[in-house]
Amino acid sequence: MPSTFSPVPSGLAASPFAAPFAAQLPRILEIIRESGALVMDHWRKPRNIRLKGRIDLVTETDLAVEAFLKDRLKDVVPGATFMAEESATSRTPQGTCWIIDPIDGTTNFAHSLPFVATSVGLWHEGRVVLGVVNAPVLGECFWAVRGGGAFCNGEPLRVSDREPLEQAVVATGFPYTISEDVDTVLARLRKALVTTRGVRRCGAAAIDLAFVASGRFDAFYEADLKPWDTAAGWLLVEEAGGCVTGFDGAPYDFTNEGILASNGRVHEAMRAVLAL
């Protein structure tokens, strides 16, 4: 398997436009590389799965990767707190806070589907300033620092320039509350299917957002996501030149009904699709 990491572009940490903690990026990437090796070790073994809800799964890998990241990252930014999926008691980050999804795409992982990622965002002074989405099975690591651009395996990312919406490929996901919200989900999906070139579903929001940042998808929308699903990918899209809002166009801040991320060119058209 090819390495998922390339050297950090020279001069990034010294850039006057880069966010606080950019200097720690190489260390953060190394820690996340090691967590990816843990994911791959578990990938080759039988899964130990339990239910958190009717269709919401957790595996021993989720727990092991979360524990590993919390242990290793705690000394990178002294005093930073953690909001991690399997142990979070709040969905509102405060101060300086690591926002972690150890395995985004747990259902994919449980079924040996390769769209699996670890998402790590660093929240500071009211915004995400650093984000990493590592997809070890795919062999790709996406990362960004605020003011420093977005990258995949060390290569710079840029959102697509595709428009109009009828030429766009759009990604979406379905909430764990699908049985209660199926009518709303299907109403939006129907509009997306007939107004775009196609709709895709990876089953991992962090990967969907990374694919928007890389220009593979032209837009992504999903309702009822949590901060650990979107923190890192949100920054990736913005640093790659894209746009991220709520469904109604309001600034995205983890409290919106849903997230809409796009290349910017199809954003207003997608807002119309999502309006009910």
Backbone φ, ψ for residue 30 (5° rounding)? -65, -40
In the residue annotation, 268 being an active-site residue is answered as no
Q: Which of 103, 107, 172, 259 is catalytic?
A: 103
Q: Which segments of the chain does DSSP mark as H helices, in order?
A: 25-43, 60-73, 106-110, 178-195, 205-213, 227-239, 267-274
Q: Which of 62, 66, 140, 229 is catalytic?
A: 229
In the residue annotation, 75 being an active-site residue is answered as no
DSSP state of 38: H
Residues 174 and 257 reside in one and the same domain: yes
pLDDT in tens, 56-115: 567 899 999 999 999 999 999 999 999 999 999 888 999 999 999 999 999 999 999 999
Quote the domain boundaries for residue 260: 165-274
Assign 18 to helix, strand or coil.
Answer: coil
Q: Which of 4, 59, 106, 230 is catalytic?
A: 106
Q: Which of 4, 31, 61, 85 is catalytic?
A: 85
Whether residue 7 is contained in a domain is answered as no
Total-model pTM:
0.93
Q: Which of 62, 104, 222, 238 is catalytic?
A: 104
In the residue annotation, 62 being an active-site residue is answered as no
Q: Which of 28, 62, 99, 101 is catalytic?
A: 101
Q: Decide if 120 contacts 232 (C-beta within 8 A).
A: yes
Q: Decide if 159 contacts 263 (C-beta within 8 A).
A: yes
Whether residue 215 is contained in a domain is answered as yes
DSSP state of 65: H
Whether residue 50 is contained in a domain is answered as yes
Which residues are CB-neighbours of 230 under 8 A, at least 6 positions away? 205, 206, 209, 252, 254, 259
Domain of 96, CATH number, reads 3.30.540.10
In the residue annotation, 101 being an active-site residue is answered as yes
**Sequential DSSP letters for 94-158:** -SSEEEEEEEETHHHHHTT-S--EEEEEEEETTEEEEEEEEETTTTEEEEEETTTEEEETTEE--
Instruction: Name the domain boundary from 156, 186, 218.
Output: 156
Residue 219: which pLDDT band, with cuts at 50, 70 and 90?
A: very high
DSSP state of 171: E
Residues 122 and 186 reside in one and the same domain: no
> What pLDDT, on the 0 to 100 scale, is given for residue 1?
38
pLDDT in tens, 3-62: 445 566 655 544 544 567 889 999 999 999 999 999 999 999 888 777 665 645 678 999
> What pLDDT, on the 0 to 100 scale, is given for residue 57?
61
pLDDT in tens, 123-171: 999 999 999 999 999 999 999 999 999 999 999 999 999 999 999 999 9
Whether residue 4 is contained in a domain is answered as no
How far apart CA 109 and CA 103 sit, in angstroms, is 8
Distance of CA 31 to the CA centre of its chain: 18
Whether residue 15 is contained in a domain is answered as no
Whether residue 211 is contained in a domain is answered as yes
Domain of 223, CATH number, reads 3.40.190.80
Residues 264 and 188 reside in one and the same domain: yes
> What pLDDT, on the 0 to 100 scale, is given for residue 51?
64
How far apart CA 80 and CA 104 sit, in angstroms, is 22
Residue 2: which pLDDT band, with cuts at 50, 70 and 90?
A: very low
Number of domains in the chain: 2
In the residue annotation, 100 being an active-site residue is answered as no
Residues 106 and 177 reside in one and the same domain: no
In the residue annotation, 85 being an active-site residue is answered as yes
